[in-house]
């Protein structure tokens, strides 16, 4: 229709240049994972753990009475309750969202870092696909929140194609399997079949807190606890849901075109 | 409990009561079972009658012999009764389709997942048959099992088509592969944090589910929500409708291969989501609704700065859509749903309104601040894909107008939250009109005032029940357009 051609031409490009240029990532105002500062904790206080439905914040009984909470952002559903419950500001709201990591342990808060940036370098040069990437997405029981943000990647603002990244229908032509949801018992077999149908080399991204650790329904009569023990995971990306910019960061991280920013449960700033 | 009138009905009276309800223009909304005591299962039938804000809940003792099925009288109850049989183990006599539904893809167990420890009744769950497909013969009839992993970024479901050439003879969707046991997950959670689960039943209906849940808690504990919170709830709910309907228009263009139209719809959706983030901290409007009020204030300046350009862009977009004959040709007369079928099978939201049923919870059963901020309710009579699109366009305009109105009139001052008191063994009902139709939460508290039973009636459960009737005897080419014109979610249906 000439109407639409004219409309498209006069509207111009709506795409952001981020992450190639500038910082218009579109996530202004989005609340991300809280920040945790163990130094501010009060002895004997467990308000944060009491408020957390997915046990992202826990106290280990063997550490004694005045222990500090153990924090696993891989279980966090970003509900912000701990930031409201904490009386001392040890948990505060933040806009931290570039959370994709290669090792699950990097999502667990630690004083000392688990991995260091230098160890990534030899691996990055080994990547057979350094630029273009084809993704097969499988919903293994998500709430549709992750799909909503994945679908957003193809809207004109993010325009994923400009980065050489495409969603593909057939697992045969896919390089990466992007999985959402806690892996319901019924979706486990179709998920494994999809993975098996992919040609080597292939990677897996656990997208969203459900795929990373099971989320709010993990381990009940209908659901598993995410991808661990089901498929080998290359990138863990928690979030409820992860926003489109966080998903782009995780995809580029896989390609060696972005740096991992989350280490030891803390975002490098 | 103010939202619902409770009435005890004996099993002998049940049939007559249902006939009487239908004769007076009433409509069944949901049926479920719960266990006040492990040895005393109880059925609940929740219905509405025209002109009455309160819902009606019938209480039926289900501890002895099977209860007569009402599926022949009110067909929409067919799925609810099947779910009760497999999940709570209560048998129905004379059910037309005594087969598993929600648990069809899980290993069969002797008792349903919602039956308590200590249950003594003979459970129907262990012996319920697996779902069957119709027998088809004839060498030209083809069987296409499509999914559960399908092209594009979509939710998992398997669609089974029996077809000859282009014509679809029979269609059967397998919708429960992503059943997550959400209702069971509510058991034992405290009344406040249950809202976090409700927000995650259907991610794109976050506000509607949270609102229906919170209102059920407030109904049970007699909690009065401050005016400011009620006002902000309307704003959040209309923001949710806005981005969902924009997505709907873009996706509908995708199915008719109108590429620029798709791009524009999804670009406007993105702008709406970015506005949500600026206003609330969440693109999907999470972490706003809380039992007793709202958790955070909304940035109304960000909303009014977002709504004004959206209104302008929408008019330009809709004008183009309505002048594109190639798009309209694929929608007009495609997959019509008659008013009778829509009513009998329980269609809800824009689907029923596009088939001429004038019903909207916001107007007919006002909640939050909808008594003061009244929505214009759009209906059409054709019932086809075009009518479904037109209703959503009208709702989109109304939502943006309502947002404008809510902000111009000014958000009332006062507290954001009035914490709910703990009332052991209370029960409550809450509802909300989501962008897809009616969401209902029926809650029962235990003796420590935690959730003992949560029943979720989601709009997609209702509309997926209706949808196959519009697919039979249609053709393959129109299928994707028809499905997009319904605007369904699978997570909401499968829970």
- Which of B149, B280, B493 to probe the A interface (max A CBs under 10 A)? B149
What is the residue extent of each domain of chain A? 33-96, 117-267
Encode burial over B288-323: b for 16+ CB neighbours within 10 A, e otherwise: bbbbbbbbbebbbebbbebbeebeebbeebbebbee
CA–CA distances in Å: residue B431 to residues A177, B114, B443: 38, 22, 11
- What is the pLDDT, as a whole number, of residue A62? 75
CA A119 to chain centre: 21
Asked if A77 lies within 8 A of B196 by C-beta distance, the reply is: yes
DSSP letter for A24, please: -
Asked if A194 lies within 8 A of B270 by C-beta distance, the reply is: no
Q: Are B485 and B195 in contact (CB under 8 A)?
A: no
Tell me whether residue A229 is exposed, middle or buried, using C-beta atoms within 10 angstroms of its C-beta: 0 to 12, 13 to 18, 19 or more.
exposed
Asked if B273 lies within 8 A of A3 by C-beta distance, the reply is: no
For A:9-28, CB contacts with B below 8 A are: 11, 14, 26-28
Asked if the ipTM is above 0.90, the reply is: yes
Nearest CA in chain B to A15: B267
Asked if pLDDT for residue A73 goes beyond 50, the answer is yes
CA atoms of A179 and A184, how far apart (whole Å): 12
- What is the pLDDT, as a whole number, of residue A118? 52
Q: Are B69 and B15 in contact (CB under 8 A)?
A: no
Asked if B200 lies within 8 A of A240 by C-beta distance, the reply is: yes
What residues have CB less than 8 Å from A122, skipping those under 6 apart?
none
**Alpha-carbon gap: B8 to the closest alpha carbon of chain A (Å):** 33
pLDDT in tens, A5-41: 999 899 989 999 999 899 999 999 999 999 998 889 8
HEC letters along B425-441: CCEEEEEEEECCEEEEE
Tokens standing for A47?
């308000």
- Which of B107, B180, B239, B419 to probe the A interface (max A CBs under 10 A)? B180
Tell me whether residue B139 is exposed, middle or buried, using C-beta atoms within 10 angstroms of its C-beta: 0 to 12, 13 to 18, 19 or more.
exposed
CATH architecture of A33-96: 2-Layer Sandwich (3.30)
**Alpha-carbon gap: B435 to the closest alpha carbon of chain A (Å):** 15
**Alpha-carbon gap: A42 to the closest alpha carbon of chain B (Å):** 24
Asked if B181 lies within 8 A of A14 by C-beta distance, the reply is: no
Q: Among partner residues B106, B250, B281, which is closest to A31 by beta-carbon distance? A: B281
Could you tell me if A241 lies within 8 Å of chain B, comparing CB atoms?
A: yes
CA atoms of B215 and B429, how far apart (whole Å): 7
* Half-sphere CA count of B490, side-chain side, radius 13 A: 24
Asked if B106 lies within 8 A of A137 by C-beta distance, the reply is: no
Asked if B156 lies within 8 A of A143 by C-beta distance, the reply is: no
φ, ψ of residue A227 to 5 degrees: the values are -85, -20
Tokens standing for B202?
């259907």
Asked if pLDDT for residue A242 goes beyond 60, the answer is yes
Could you tell me if A192 lies within 8 Å of chain B, comparing CB atoms?
A: no
- Which of B106, B203, B492 to probe the A interface (max A CBs under 10 A)? B203
Asked if B260 lies within 8 A of A154 by C-beta distance, the reply is: no
Nearest CA in chain B to A11: B264
- What is the pLDDT, as a whole number, of residue A67? 79
First-to-last C-alpha distance (Å) of chain B? 26
Q: What is the DSSP string of B435-458?
A: TTEEEEEEEEE-TTSBEEEEEEE-
Q: Are A163 and A252 in contact (CB under 8 A)?
A: yes
Q: pLDDT confidence of A2, banded at 50, 70, 90?
A: confident
Could you tell me if A79 lies within 8 Å of chain B, comparing CB atoms?
A: yes
Q: Low-confidence residues of chain B, pLDDT below 50? A: none
- Which of A139, A171, A239 to probe the B interface (max B CBs under 10 A)? A139
Coil, strand or helix at B310? helix
Domains A33-96 and A117-267 share a fold: no
Start-end of H helices in B24-175: 77-88
Q: Are A228 and A74 in contact (CB under 8 A)?
A: no
- What is the pLDDT, as a whole number, of residue A121? 46
CA–CA distances in Å: residue A9 to residues A4, A113, B315, B319: 8, 50, 18, 17
User: Which region holds residue B239: left if phi is over 0, alpha if psi is between -120 and 50, else beta?
Assistant: alpha
Q: Among partner residues A3, A152, A171, which is closest to B323 by beta-carbon distance? A: A3
Q: What is the DSSP string of B217-257?
A: HHHHHTPPPPHHHHHHHHHHHHHHHHHHHHHHHHHHHHHTT
Asked if B247 lies within 8 A of A241 by C-beta distance, the reply is: no
Q: Which residues of A touch B200 (CB under 8 A)?
A: 77, 143, 145, 215-216, 240
Nearest CA in chain B to A1: B324
CA atoms of A178 and B30, how far apart (whole Å): 36
Q: Among partner residues A145, A191, A223, which is closest to B180 by beta-carbon distance? A: A223
CA A75 to chain centre: 11
CA atoms of B74 and A237, how far apart (whole Å): 46
φ, ψ of residue A203 to 5 degrees: the values are -130, 165
Start-end of H helices in B256-349: 259-280, 300-322, 325-331, 339-345
Nearest CA in chain A to B177: A186
Q: Which residue has the higher pLDDT, A70 or A247?
A: A247
CA atoms of B171 and B160, how far apart (whole Å): 6
Q: Which residues of B touch A81 (CB under 8 A)?
A: 193, 196
- What is the pLDDT, as a whole number, of residue B211? 97
- Which of A145, A166, A223 to probe the B interface (max B CBs under 10 A)? A145
First-to-last C-alpha distance (Å) of chain A? 48
pLDDT in tens, A118-151: 555 445 445 566 668 999 999 999 999 999 999 9
Strand ranges, E, within B147-193? 158-164, 167-174
Domains by residue range for chain B, with CATH: 4-122 (3.30.460.80), 182-486 (1.10.645.10)
CATH 3.10.180.10 is the classification of domain A117-267: no
Q: Are B440 and B423 in contact (CB under 8 A)?
A: no
Q: Which residue has the higher pLDDT, A61 or A152?
A: A152
For A:43-62, CB contacts with B below 8 A are: 51, 53
Nearest CA in chain B to A137: B153
φ, ψ of residue B192 to 5 degrees: the values are -75, -55
Q: Among partner residues A79, A181, A217, which is closest to B185 by beta-carbon distance? A: A217
CA–CA distances in Å: residue A163 to residues A20, B84, B491: 9, 49, 30
């Amino acid at each position: 229709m000439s109407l639409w051609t004219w409309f498209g031409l006069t509207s111009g490009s709506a795409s952001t240049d981020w992450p190639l240029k500038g910082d218009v990532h579109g996530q202004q105002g989005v609340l991300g994972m809280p920040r945790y500062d163990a130094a501010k904790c009060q002895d004997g206080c467990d308000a944060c753990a009491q408020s957390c439905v997915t046990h992202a914040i826990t106290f280990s009984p063997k550490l004694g009475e005045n222990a500090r909470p153990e924090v696993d952002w891989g279980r966090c559903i970003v509900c912000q309750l701990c930031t409201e419950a904490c009386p001392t500001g040890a948990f505060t709201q933040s806009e931290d969202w570039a959370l994709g990591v290669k090792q699950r342990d990097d999502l667990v808060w630690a004083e000392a870092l688990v991995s260091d940036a230098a160890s990534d370098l030899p691996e990055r040069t080994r990547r057979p696909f350094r630029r273009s990437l084809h993704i097969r997405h499988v919903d293994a029981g998500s709430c549709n929140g992750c799909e909503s943000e994945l679908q957003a990647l193809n809207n004109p603002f993010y325009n994923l194609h400009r980065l050489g990244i495409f969603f593909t229908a057939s697992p045969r032509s896919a390089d990466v399997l992007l999985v959402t949801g806690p892996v319901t018992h019924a979706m486990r077999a179709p998920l494994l079949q999809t993975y098996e149908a992919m040609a080597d080399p292939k990677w897996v991204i656990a997208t969203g807190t459900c795929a990373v650790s099971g989320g709010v329904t993990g381990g009940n009569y209908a659901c598993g606890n995410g991808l661990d023990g089901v498929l080998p995971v290359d990138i863990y990306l928690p979030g409820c849901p992860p926003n489109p910019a966080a998903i782009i960061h995780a995809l580029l991280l896989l390609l060696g075109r972005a740096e991992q920013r989350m280490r030891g449960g803390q975002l490098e700033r | 409990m103010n939202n619902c009138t409770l009435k005890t009905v004996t099993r002998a009276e049940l049939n007559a009561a249902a006939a009487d309800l239908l004769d007076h223009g009433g409509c069944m909304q949901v049926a479920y079972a719960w266990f006040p005591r492990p040895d005393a299962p109880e059925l609940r039938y929740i219905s509405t009658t025209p002109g009455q804000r309160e819902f009606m809940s019938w209480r039926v003792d289900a501890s002895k012999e099977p209860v007569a099925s009402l599926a022949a009288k009110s067909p929409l109850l067919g799925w609810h009764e099947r779910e009760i049989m497999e999940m709570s183990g209560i048998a129905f006599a004379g059910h037309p389709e005594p087969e598993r539904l929600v648990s069809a893809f899980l290993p069969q167990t002797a008792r349903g997942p919602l039956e308590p420890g200590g249950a003594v009744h003979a459970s129907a769950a262990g012996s319920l048959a697996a779902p069957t497909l119709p027998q088809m013969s004839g060498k030209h009839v083809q069987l296409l099992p499509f999914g559960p992993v399908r092209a594009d970024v979509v939710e998992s479901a398997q669609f089974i088509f029996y077809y000859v050439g282009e014509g679809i003879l029979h269609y059967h969707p397998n919708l429960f592969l992503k059943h997550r046991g959400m209702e069971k997950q509510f058991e034992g959670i405290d009344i406040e944090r249950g809202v976090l689960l409700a927000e995650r039943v259907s991610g794109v209906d976050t506000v509607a589910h949270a609102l229906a849940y919170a209102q059920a808690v407030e109904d049970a504990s007699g909690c009065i929500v401050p005016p400011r919170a009620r006002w902000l709830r309307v704003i959040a709910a209309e923001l949710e409708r806005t981005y969902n309907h924009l997505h709907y228009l873009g996706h509908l263009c995708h199915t008719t291969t109108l590429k620029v139209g798709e791009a524009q719809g999804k670009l406007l959706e993105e702008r709406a989501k970015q506005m949500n983030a600026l206003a609330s901290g969440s693109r999907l409007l999470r972490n706003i609704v809380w039992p007793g009020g709202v958790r955070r204030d909304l940035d109304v300046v960000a909303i009014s700065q977002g709504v004004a350009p959206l209104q302008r862009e929408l008019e330009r977009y809709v004008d183009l859509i309505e002048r594109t004959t190639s798009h309209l040709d694929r929608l007009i007369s495609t997959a019509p749903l008659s008013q009778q079928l829509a009513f009998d099978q329980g269609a809800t939201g824009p689907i029923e309104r596009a088939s001429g049923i004038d019903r909207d919870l916001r107007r007919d059963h006002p909640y939050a601040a909808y008594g003061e901020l009244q929505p214009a309710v759009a209906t059409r009579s054709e019932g086809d894909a075009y009518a479904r699109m037109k209703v959503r366009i009208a709702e989109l305009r109304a939502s943006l107008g309502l947002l404008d109105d809510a902000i111009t009139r000014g958000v009332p001052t006062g507290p954001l939250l009035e914490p709910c008191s703990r009332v052991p063994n209370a029960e409550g009902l809450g509802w909300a009109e989501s962008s897809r139709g009616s969401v209902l939460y029926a809650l029962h508290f235990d003796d420590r005032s935690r959730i003992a039973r949560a029943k979720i009636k989601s709009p997609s459960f209702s509309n997926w029940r209706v949808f196959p009737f519009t697919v039979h005897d249609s053709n393959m080419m129109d299928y994707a357009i028809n499905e997009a014109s319904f605007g369904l979610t699978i997570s909401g249906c499968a829970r």
